[in-house]
Amino acid sequence: MLVVDFLRHGELQGGIKYRGTLDEALTGNGRKQMEEVWAKVEQEVTMITCSPLSRCAQPAQAWAKEANIPLQLEQQIAELNYGLWEGLEAKQIQQQFPSQLEAWREDPTHLTPPQGESMQSFAKRTALFWQKLIQNHDDEHVLIVAHSGSIRLLLTHALAAPIKSTRHFAMPYACWSRVEISHKQQAQLVFHARV
């Protein structure tokens, strides 16, 4: 059986914004939030895979070194490129791009952030990553350190759920979820949104 833990990065400096490709730092509290989850899984995890953005990669690199386990930086699980929404708070997006954010939150498959990445493209790259993971890492315990958008999509891939369902997953900072995949590649969500 393959066990996959998903950990969203912790709280970021500068408050809550759409910052898919912006490489902004964790707050001290954000790092502490992530460390609390790591302390619960460090004895079990055999490999860490993470987004290359520092809010994911810095803690993951430290943990992999500490535990003497492999680390893989994976561009395919980087966050969605939000285009012209990058660096903006929800209120600013609503002012500058009226009704777009609400429509995107309702069903992200029907609207792409201006000059950003489509949900279909995002889903394709995360699906390729997921297929590679489950084919190559049977009988391991993998920790994926990533972002709210990429983790939501990976959960939909694991559970064979529609992309639209990504909007139904709560994803607080340092959100911790677990999926188990049987030898027949059948996935079960063990828990979601532990913090």
Q: What is the pLDDT of residues 106-126, one digit of tens each?
A: 889 999 999 999 999 999 999
pLDDT attached to residue 167: 86
Model confidence pLDDT, tens digit, residues 1-55: 999 999 999 999 999 999 999 999 999 999 999 999 999 999 999 999 999 999 9
For 34, list phi and psi in degrees, rounded to 5.
Answer: -70, -40
Asked whether the predicted pLDDT for residue 184 surpasses 80, the reply is no
- For residues 181 and 12, give the distance between their C-alpha atoms in angstroms, rounded to a whole number: 31
**Block residue for tokens 């953005």:** 53
Domain 2-82+118-194 has CATH 3.40.50.1240: yes
Can you give the pTM of this predicted structure?
0.96
> Tell me, what's the pLDDT at 195?
66
Domain boundaries, the chain: 2-82+118-194
Please tell me the number of Cα atoms within 13 Å of 96 on its side-chain side.
12
In the chain, the percentage of residues whose pLDDT exceeds 90 is 89
- Helix locations, 68-142, DSSP H: 90-96, 100-106, 119-136
Q: Is 79 helix (H, G, I), strand (E, B) or coil?
A: coil
DSSP letter for 117, please.
-
Query: What residues have CB less than 8 Å from 67, skipping those under 6 apart?
Result: 42, 45
Q: What separation in angstroms does the CA of 188 have from each of 4, 13, 108, 129, 144? A: 10, 34, 25, 18, 16
Angle at 61 between CA 81 and CA 183, to 5 degrees: 80
